[in-house]
């Protein structure tokens, strides 16, 4: 299987794919818990199509997608001006990654390799990200790709669910 990664302009097709994967991922993670109402509010706020596509019209946010042939199999958002900069001292150029969704683990692996290459080429001081703590399989893949957990937070922005902060090890 040949996986290709590329920056993606969020046209309807790609935006719809990311939104669908977000909803599937989060729904499966919290299907047995009483967090469904909170989760639905988060999804309907952050992943509302117009809001989500509009948020990508910012020079500090970019989306990279992985493809098997022409089929999307993964996506990740890069943020070059993250709000959570205080976690790391003496950092002038942070690269924050989040909104990671994939239908095939090879897609996520290819995306994380691409992120590391971008960070190296563009001299970012630190590469870090945040995911929901219950995404244990994703967290293991992230660790296998050279990242380490640096903290567990109380909540993801706009939702009261535990998250894990991770960073690329040097």
Q: Give the predicted TM-score (pTM) of the model.
A: 0.86
Which pLDDT tens digit goes with each residue over 76-128? 999 988 876 566 777 888 899 989 999 999 999 999 999 999 999 999 988 99
The residue with tokens 């309807």 is: 12
The token pair that represents 134 in the structure block: 């219950």
CATH number of the domain that 21 lies in? 3.40.630.30
CB atoms within 10 A of CB 36: 13
The token pair that represents 111 in the structure block: 């995306």
Q: Which domain holds residue 96?
A: 3-168
Q: Are strands 126-132 and 94-102 parallel, antiparallel or unpaired?
A: parallel
Measured CA to CA in angstroms, residue 75 lies from 4, 11, 43, 92 at distances of 12, 14, 17, 26
Number of domains in the chain: 1
Which pLDDT tens digit goes with each residue over 127-165? 999 888 888 999 999 999 999 998 876 655 555 677 888
How far apart (Å, rounded) are the C-alpha atoms in residues 114 and 110?
A: 6
């Amino acid at each position: 299987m040949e996986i290709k990664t590329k920056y993606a302009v969020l046209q309807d097709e790609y935006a719809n794919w990311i939104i669908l994967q977000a909803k599937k991922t989060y729904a499966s993670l919290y299907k047995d818990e009483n967090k469904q109402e909170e989760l639905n509010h988060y999804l309907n706020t952050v992943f509302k199509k117009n809001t989500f596509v509009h948020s990508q019209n910012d020079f500090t946010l970019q989306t990279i997608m992985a493809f098997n042939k022409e089929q999307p199999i993964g996506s990740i958002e890069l943020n070059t001006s993250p709000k959570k900069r205080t976690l790391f001292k003496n950092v002038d150029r942070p690269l924050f990654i989040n909104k990671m969704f994939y239908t095939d683990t090879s897609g996520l692996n290819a995306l994380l390799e691409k992120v590391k290459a971008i960070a190296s080429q563009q001299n970012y001081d630190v590469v870090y990200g945040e995911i929901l703590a219950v995404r244990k399989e994703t967290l293991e893949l992230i660790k296998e790709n050279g990242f380490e957990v640096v903290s567990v937070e109380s909540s993801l922005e706009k939702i009261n669910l535990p998250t894990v902060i991770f960073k690329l090890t040097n």
